[in-house]
Every structure is written in structure tokens, then in C-alpha cells.
Amino acid sequence: MTSQTLLITATKKQGSSFNSKSHLLHNISDGSLEVKFFCQRLCIQTALIAPHKGIASYLDAAMEKHLVIGASGQLGIELITGMQARYGVNAVVACDIMKSNDKGVNKSKFISLDATDINSVRKTLKTGEFTHVYHLVAMLSAKGEKNPIAGWDLNMKSLLNVLECAKEGLVKKVFWPSSIAVFGPTAPKIKTSQNTFCDPTTVYGVSKVAGELWAKYYFEHYGVDVRSVRYPGLIGHRSQPGGGTTDYAVEAFYCALERKPFVCYLDKNEVLPMMHMDDAVRATLDLMEAPLENIKTRTSYNLSGCSFSPSELNHELSKFVSDFNTEYNPDYRQKIAASWPDSIDDSEARKDWGWEPEFSTSKLVKQMLDGLKSIV
């Protein structure tokens, strides 16, 4: 086991040695162990583990292998970077039609894949022996409205391909992102609850509602462990926006640092739920690591970060870039934004798996500016 060597030191049983996983599990009766895994797939530096169950859990973790489909998109780049830091570069494989230009992402292995081709998806999962799949492929809200049939086909077909392969036992866990786009004009504007009626106004939102119900269906009928969160608008500095309605915020940061005029396509007072990518990545990985019995919602969990309007973002940015100013010229995307909530109630995620955001609006703005200064 040269690439998966275990160095095990017993803190209560000095001088004990174990030659295999089974030997280890059968010879520990009490006390805690300090276990160091030097593993090609996963690097866990040091962990204090309770006997039996804890040891087995960490040994299983050492064998996990994560595939991110849609890795070259805005969320994919951020997620892979976070996963590399948590699990190790070799435990993560990036997958998309085209390879990302991001140097950090490219530290991990890349596989070219058309996620709408189920035979290719099946072959990739069989060959790679992946335990976790993060399926991020989607045509986002603004782009999807320009070609709704293509948006529906991409979003649904690629998801169902992954779910079918999981049903066949080719993967243990599936993560699939939903969105606040599932909500529509009848949803409460403030603190929209987990079980609010969904009446989306975009094909992106419609596909997300359908996807949530498919996730629940595959769990209830086939035992597929699908986990999901409803992301707010996501803001990160490692990649350009991908065609979402909330992407105005990311564009504002680039314009501020480049001292360019910024024209916002939303109304100045349109408040939307937003989230820093670091919070989004942490929520995703924490959800996937949560015990099976803790996952009570099998559609998708509400997730909340902070909420602000374009004018409030302008105010925060002007604290750092004194001459920054925003002009407002709302277009078709304003109608989409107006159908979404101002804020989200994520109490179910907090209760079930301990979710709690770290970024306020002011902290998000500072972090984004600091991150972009290194690349702009």
C-alpha cells in the first residue's frame, strides 16, 4: 500500500501495531487513536478518533474520490479549489467539455466529458471509481431565457444521466445545486421559508424545481443519496460571471478596480440574497460530509448569506474606491430579479447540519477587492 500507507500510533496502547484495516478495527477496544494518513487520494494530517466507528469513518474517507462535472464554470473553479485544500489535489478530478485556464484547478486531473451523453458519463464513473459526484452543469437564468429549450435540455438531461448512473451503484453520493430561482412572485419577499410554494418565472428556475423533485424521487425510490442547496447569487473572484441574473455584482467589482464606468442592468433598489463563494464552498462540503441521518430535506436546502441592492453595493464599494459610481439601466433581467425573494430563511440547514454563514456584505466586499487586486 505505497500510495495509501497508514501510520497509526496508539495513545493508550503504546507499542501496538496494526498491519491492516481489519486488524486495526478488531484490536482496538477503548481509548482514542491519533491517526495519520499519508494517502495519495486524501491528506488528513492528524485526527483524534474514537474507537471503532470513528476509525472506520476516517479509513473510508481516505478512499474517497471526488468528481466535479462542470468544473470550468464559476462555481466549479471555486469548489475544486476548496476541495483541493480540504481533501488534497489527487482526491479531486475536474470534468467539463473544455479545460479551465485556472492554474489552481489544473493541479488536479482533468477529464473531458459531455454530460448529456449518458454512455460517456457511465464510462467516466466506472473507470474513475469515484465515490462523490458534484454535478454543476447548467445554463443559468439570464442565458437560459434566450434559449429556453436548450436550457431545459442541458439542465435536465445531464442531471438525469448522473442520477441514473448513481442508481446503478456507480457513485455513493451526488451533489446537485439548486437556486433561489425556484421561487417566484407569490413567494414571501422576506425570509422565504424552506417549504414555500415554488412558481419560478424562468426556464432555469423551472428546471431547478424539476431537478429538486427528481433528487427526492431517486432517493425515495432507489436510495440514491442526492444532496442539494438553493444557492443565492454567488460572488467570487477566481472566474468571470457565467450568465446569471445576480452576476451584476461581480461585474461591479471588476469595473471598480479597473476604474471603468459601471452600468447596472437591475434597478438600484432591487434587493437580492447573495453569498461569497467561500461560504458557498464550505456549505457544499459540510453538507456532503454530514451524516446520512442528519439530511432531512431531500429536495434542496435553503441557504442564506447576506442581502443587498445595487445601490447598497455601490455604497460599500465607494468606501474603497472613492470615485466609483453606478449608472442604472434595467433590462429584461430586472423582471427576473423582481420575482425572487429579498432574503432567505435557512433555519432547516442550520438545524440539520450546522450551517452558518461567515460573510456579511462589508466583509464580502473587502474580500472580493483583495482577491481581485491580485489578478486584475
pLDDT (mean) for 144-165: 96
What's the pLDDT at 64? 93
> Is the model's pLDDT at 28 over the cut of 50?
no
What's the pLDDT at 9? 34
Catalytic residue among 58, 87, 134, 204: 204
Domains of the chain, each with CATH number or no CATH: 4-61 (no CATH), 62-228 (3.40.50.720), 234-274+305-373 (3.90.25.10)
What's the pLDDT at 31? 35
d(CA 28, CA 293): 26
DSSP annotation of 196: P
pLDDT (mean) for 15-41: 35
DSSP annotation of 245: G
> Is the model's pLDDT at 292 over the cut of 50?
yes
Q: Which of 155, 179, 129, 285 lies closest to 163 in space, CA to CA?
A: 155
204 is catalytic: yes
Provide the β-strand partners of residue 231: 179
Helices (H), 7-49: 21-27
**How much of the chain, in percent, has pLDDT values that exceed 70?**
83
> Is the model's pLDDT at 93 over the cut of 50?
yes
Question: pLDDT tens digit string along 179-238?
Answer: 999 999 999 999 999 999 999 999 999 999 999 999 999 999 999 999 999 999 999 998
Which are the contacts of 375, defined by CB distance < 8 A and separation ≥ 6?
A: 237
Longest dimension (CA), the chain: 72
Question: pLDDT tens digit string along 303-338?
Answer: 999 999 999 999 999 999 999 999 999 999 999 999
Q: What is the average pLDDT value for the chain, to the nearest integer?
A: 86
pLDDT (mean) for 46-62: 46
pLDDT band per the 50, 70, 90 thresholds, residue 5:
very low
Nearest 5°: the CA angle 163, 166, 167 is 85
* Residue keyed to cell 431547478: 208
pLDDT (mean) for 110-139: 96
> Is the model's pLDDT at 157 over the cut of 70?
yes
C-alpha cell at 128: 474513475
C-alpha cell at 63: 478512499
Question: pLDDT tens digit string along 6-23?
Answer: 333 333 333 333 333 333
pTM of the model: 0.84
What's the pLDDT at 373? 86
CB 246 within 8 A of CB 234: yes
Question: pLDDT tens digit string along 247-290?
Answer: 999 999 999 999 999 999 999 999 999 999 999 999 999 999 99
What's the pLDDT at 170? 97
